[in-house]
Amino acid sequence: MSFSLKKGETFGTAQIILFLSIAILVIVVAVPVLLIFANAFWDNNGNFNLHDVMNVLREPDTYQALLNSVIIASGTTIGSTTIGTFFAWLVTRTDLPCKKFMKAMFLVPFMLPSFIGALAWKMLLSPRAGYINRFFMDIFNLDEPFFNIYSYLGIVLVEIMYLFPFVFIQVCGALERMDPTLEESARISGAGLGTITRKITIPLVLPSILSGALLIMLYSMAHFGTVAVLGIENGIYNIPTLIYERIHQSAGSFESIRTGTVLASVLVVSAAFIIWMQNKILSKGHFQIIAGKSFRPMELKLRGLRIPLLVACCTYIAITIVLPTAVIFLVGALPTYGMPFTWENLSLENYKFILFDNQLTKDAIFNSVSLGLSAALITMFTGVMISYVIVKMKVRGKGVLEFLGMLPFSVPGSVIALGVILAWSGKFGINIYNTVWIILLAYIARYMAFSLKANSAALEQVHDSLVEAARACGATMWQALKDIVLPLVRPGMLAAFFLIFLPSLRELTVSIMLYAPTTRTIGVAIYTLNEDGETVVSAALAGVALVLIITGQSIINRFIARTTKG
Amino acid sequence: MSYVRLVDVQKRFGQVVAVDRLNLGIEKGECFSMLGPSGCGKTTTLRMIAGFEDLNEGEIHVGDRLLSSSRKRFYLPPEKRDFGMVFQAFAVWPHLTVYENVAFPLRLRKLPTSDIERRTHGALEATNLLDVAQKSPASLSGGGKQRVALARALAINPDVMLLDEPLSSLDPHLREEMRFEIKDLQRQFGFSIIYVTHDQSEAMALSDRILVMRLGVVQQIDTPLNVYSHPANRFVFSFIGLSNFLDVERDGDGPCRVAGGGGTLPVSPPAGMGSRLSLAFRPQEVGFGTKGTVDGEVQRKSFLGEVVDYQIKVGEQSVRVQTGRRSPGPEAGETCHLDIRRPFWYPAEEPEG
Ligand SMILES: Nc1ncnc2c1ncn2[C@@H]1O[C@H](COP(=O)(O)OP(=O)(O)OP(=O)(O)O)[C@@H](O)[C@H]1O
Ligand SMILES: [Mg+2]
């Protein structure tokens, strides 16, 4: 044990660190969430009032939003799980050509913000103006659009495109680590490859499939962007979009806050339930199927299906990744939305405009980058401290911290946003509403989970004996921390930094609820410009965001490749 | 004609020749072991027989069935070969019960339910697993898991059982016990065993015949006794059991001298082996004799329980000698004379390169 409680020596330090960690989590996460529950379940006379909660839930709008969240999340989960598992099986267990490339491509949607994707699909498939719809309507003289993206099916399909990698990456990992003799012994028992896949392979990776599916469920329930871009037009709201709508439209009236907090409570409870299920599945059903020494796993020979499946994969990649990305950049180069993509029409004017001339977009880029950097730095350092207490220290009162440490994982973005509004617009004598600070605070709360995860993983690798050995050599506790622990957890800290910095560049859910005219982020700017009908400017800004994100990601990938090699 | 036949089988992985020109016949009901250092191609051979690897040359037959042929590009898939196979890492399915694991191959053969039950029961009984039939194999110890794998392989009553280091994941005590269980099962069910191991005592204890392999090339195929007492070459001699080698020199047909000093040998090699030779002998087949034999000096004497182990310097070379603990012998630092009772002669070792 690195921190002993020998009285007098480290008692003070350990308690201070523990206290600090608890304080941070309480202020940043627990208070906002508690305020949400308080507002939802207690009326303004201070009485516990379940009756009103039920009334709010029975209102047709709220009820419909809850139902929509469930419908969209279920559809997305089923679709993404099916596609993700199928592609994972295809790139790990068959002789599909160019499997490495395919695998890399299937992970690209991780990088792309789904609301930008939704924007692209809106440009392609909106019922009247969408390029694809217009194309088919012109060619076949149709009166009806070819496909209406403003629909449940449209929303679900777009979410599937961007969420299936969650299942894909989990199942790929499980299939790659699985002992191939488990499948070979089924083969020698007389099972053909189809039977093996059904009876052995899929059941063995089922825990990974389910855990990925639950992750998608969680994400989709609380997902704002896609539904905001594609649903609101047709009156389809889910929980986060309805919260936004209410808070935004009615400027903080009691009724709207009531509805918002009740919906947010529903989100927190469902998120907690999903995470609990996931832990249960992972701890109970996780089979020991890891290979010792092994050969390459068997590959199903696709034979006649090899080329058709290759074509299908390439088509999928072209339609879901290349096409929307290209449309964003192309529309960003047009003078007005709806013009054909001819050479004369395309120019870099919009890009110049947003980067150099337009105050709003310049502010947005500056805000997002500085918010992302500060949130990433602060969250990285506090995360490493809190993880250290949870993973390594033995002090009384740690249980409280462990519980608090679970919170960030189950609090979706829109809940955090609502929570910080309740907490920091004057209630405790501090009013930072309408400033960047409230966004920063919300970012820290939102991304704390990433930092805790990366840092605990790194710290768990540092065996206690390493610190003990240093202490035995005569190092003081601080020297041991500085010279032994810190260098060993540095990769975890860096991972945490990037895990926070990149997503915060494209954040929408939280900042849309908190922005003021001068504190727009990139995400907010893209969204509001699009709402205001400035489609081409919004597309150009989305293009710039994509360039930023992809550049950042490639730097990280190169960096990770270098650190893991040597 | 043998039951399992490998004819001129060759297997390459890129530039590596994993198995080279292997000709092999295994009889019905025989226990046949493949033995050799790591990477010599044992597993590859077994996997070719099982059908998991294609061949670059040659054919494999069982009885009157052709299983694999590189020339005809014919490969019967593993699931149609009706073999039993046991892997080193157990490979029992954790999502099925012990019973379901064992019944799996029978279910695939679409047998009547009563047959499935009867034969599963039989296999579980033979492997002492009836008590845990409804448990998950994940809850069993390593030995238990390997029994499940054995029962599963037995269930279809195969003619040939392929075992790839089935015991090397178990602790030594259990390993010996399971060895005899496998042998008992063979007696009971009458299948042929093809057994891969790098543990020579395991191979000796189990097998009717042993194949010794090195870098994909067969060195010797013979009974355990013959492999030990009539090794085909220097490699086999050194691979099986403990061994000593002394470099010796000889002028014409004269007496042999130990290279680098240490006296003249009273024994002579067969004629025509050249002037530089290796004299090989086992540490147990040396005694301490009188003057006039090989001279040495005891460097270290260690008491190992039943035997006493000596490290003896002969000129510039060093040999190992083991005697029973009751027989008299010199002490460390003393000079001694070695009486080599069973000498083997091999051409001098080529310099490594
Ligand atoms: N799938 C493969 N791809 C490439 N090379 C292989 C493959 N399988 C085996 N080899 C090579 O073929 C040679 C023989 O391997 P094999 O596994 O048969 O050895 P082995 O005798 O079973 O060794 P061990 O005792 O370590 O199990 C080795 O050099 C190995 O590296
Ligand atoms: Mg092997």
CB contact under 8 A, B108 and A291: no
pLDDT for the residue A29: 87
Res. A527 pLDDT band, cuts 50 70 90: very high
Res. A398 pLDDT band, cuts 50 70 90: confident
Find the helix or strand (DSSP H, E) in which B321 lies. strand B317-324
- Note every long-range contact of B131-134, with CB atoms under 8 Å and residues 24 or more positions apart, other chains counting: B132/B98, B133/B97, B133/B98, B133/B99, B134/B97, B134/B98, B134/B99
Res. A2 pLDDT band, cuts 50 70 90: very low
Res. A217 pLDDT band, cuts 50 70 90: very high
pLDDT for the residue A286: 55
Q: Which residue has the higher pLDDT, B49 or A133?
A: B49
Q: Does B57 touch chain A (CB under 8 A)?
A: no
Whether the model clears a pTM of 0.90, i.e. scores above it, the answer is: no
Q: Over range A125-129, report the average pLDDT.
A: 85
pLDDT for the residue A566: 43
Query: β-strand B286-288 against B317-324: which pairing, if any?
Result: unpaired
Q: Which residue has the higher pLDDT, B69 or A279?
A: B69
Distance CA A133, CA B87 (A): 58
Distance CA A21, CA A14 (A): 11
Res. A4 pLDDT band, cuts 50 70 90: very low
CA B189 to chain CA mean position, Å: 23
Contact A383, A451 (CB under 8 A): yes
Neighbours of B190 (CB within 10 A): 11
| Residues above pLDDT 90, as percent of chain A | 32
CA of B203 to the centre of ligand 2 (A): 15
Residue among B85, B95, B104 whose CB faces A203 most closely: B95
Q: What is the DSSP letter of B40?
A: S
Res. A284 pLDDT band, cuts 50 70 90: low
List pLDDT tens digits, range A461-520: 777 777 778 778 877 777 877 787 788 888 788 888 888 898 888 899 899 988 888 889
CA angle A342, A347, A352 (to 5 degrees): 160
pLDDT for the residue A536: 92
Contact A188, B79 (CB under 8 A): yes
CB contact under 8 A, B89 and A292: yes
B214 lines ligand 1 (CB under 6 A): no
Q: Which of A13, A155, A31 is nearest to A444 (CA)?
A: A31
pLDDT for the residue A280: 84
Q: Over range A251-272, report the average pLDDT.
A: 84
What domains lie within chain A, and their CATH numbers?
A: 1-41+356-566 (1.10.3720.10)
Q: Which residue minimizes the CA distance to atom 30 of ligand 1?
A: B39
List pLDDT tens digits, range B180-194: 889 999 998 999 999
CB contact under 8 A, A292 and B50: no
Q: In B, which residues are within 8 Å of A204 by CB distance?
A: 93-95
DSSP characters over B203-260: HHHH-SEEEEEETTEEEEEE-HHHHHHS-SSHHHHHHSS--EEEEEEESTTS-EEETT
Helix (H, G, I), strand (E, B) or coil at B74: strand
Distance CA B171, CA B177 (A): 10
Residue among A179, A190, A288 whose CB faces B105 most closely: A190
Q: Does B242 touch chain A (CB under 8 A)?
A: no
B16 lines ligand 1 (CB under 6 A): yes
Contact A514, A421 (CB under 8 A): yes
Q: Exposure of A500 by Cβ count < 10 A (0-12 exposed, 13-18 middle, 19+ buried)?
A: buried
What domains lie within chain B, and their CATH numbers?
A: 4-234 (3.40.50.300), 245-347 (2.40.50.140)
Q: Over range B316-343, report the average pLDDT.
A: 85
Q: Measuring CA to CA, how many Å separate B159 from each of A252, A272, A519, B3, B147?
A: 80, 56, 78, 10, 19
Contact A378, A444 (CB under 8 A): yes
List pLDDT tens digits, range A331-346: 999 888 888 888 888 8
Helix (H, G, I), strand (E, B) or coil at A513: helix
Q: Which atom of ligand 1 is nearest to the CA of B198?
A: 25
CB contact under 8 A, A190 and B93: no
pLDDT for the residue B332: 84
Q: Which atom of ligand 1 is nearest to the CA of A296?
A: 1
Residue A297 has pLDDT above 90, yes or no: no
CB contact under 8 A, B89 and A191: no
